[in-house]
Amino acid sequence: MKFSPEQVPEHIAFIMDGNGRWAMNRGFLRLRGYEEGAVSLRRITTHCRELGVREATFFALSTENYLRRPRREISFLMRLLKTYLVKERDMLMDNNIRLTTIGDISSFPADVLETLHETETLTSENDGMVMRLALNYGSRQEIINAVRALCAEVRDGKIDPDRVEEISEDVFAAYLADPQMKDPDLVIRTAGEYRLSNFLLWQSSYSELWITDELWPDFDVEHLDEALVAYVNRDRKYGAVLDPASGEASGSNGI
């Protein structure tokens, strides 16, 4: 399906849900679902690049899952991540995609961190699209970390405590995990769940949401195109309503 450049969101964020369900529905171990999910990640990434999307952020591993899932499953995911980071280097380079991450990866195995660093370095000059993996990521913790950093700046005298009222949304956003991230225009969640699950809570304040019952391993380019058709046909008012007399936007606290 063809979309004009002005119709394509600059930033799409994906909550990749349903990998385990996909596997269990077919009588496989849950781990098989993550392998198939990595295949879906590849085709959706390349399709985003073909469409002209500038940023694509994928919720790959939440803080909650990292802490609560069985260690055997987390170890498998770490191995899968390392394999993915090596296997997809050609795809990233061929498509001029820069890989980056958000989240607390400090406790990841040393070999995984090394491979991640190598892939980030290899793709650091690519400027066609940013592919961002959210790994051991939780939005509430991200916001808390930003508040702590901001408070430390006040404590250390870098911000005048008598002028804290000048701290704006833009100032605060500079302390988030990736200050260069544009707020998502569209957030897509698979597997039919109607919640953000602690994903980009600050950044998604005015994002359009699109939910599909498709499980992530089954999510394909036609489903993404379907989401874009819905996005194009929505009227994004950012909390404002149109004055019927002037056609100009005015503030609104309602829907």
User: Which residues are annotated as catalytic?
Assistant: 17, 65
Q: Give the separation between CA 60 and CA 78, rounded to whole angstroms.
A: 11
Put residue 193 in one of left, alpha, beta given phi > 0 → left and psi -120 to 50 → alpha: beta
Please name the amino acid found at residue 43: R
Q: Give the separation between CA 130 and CA 55, rounded to whole angstroms.
A: 5
Beta-strand pair 249-251/240-242: antiparallel
Buried b (16+ CB within 10 A) or exposed e, 82-109: bebbeebbeebeebebbbbbbbbbeebe
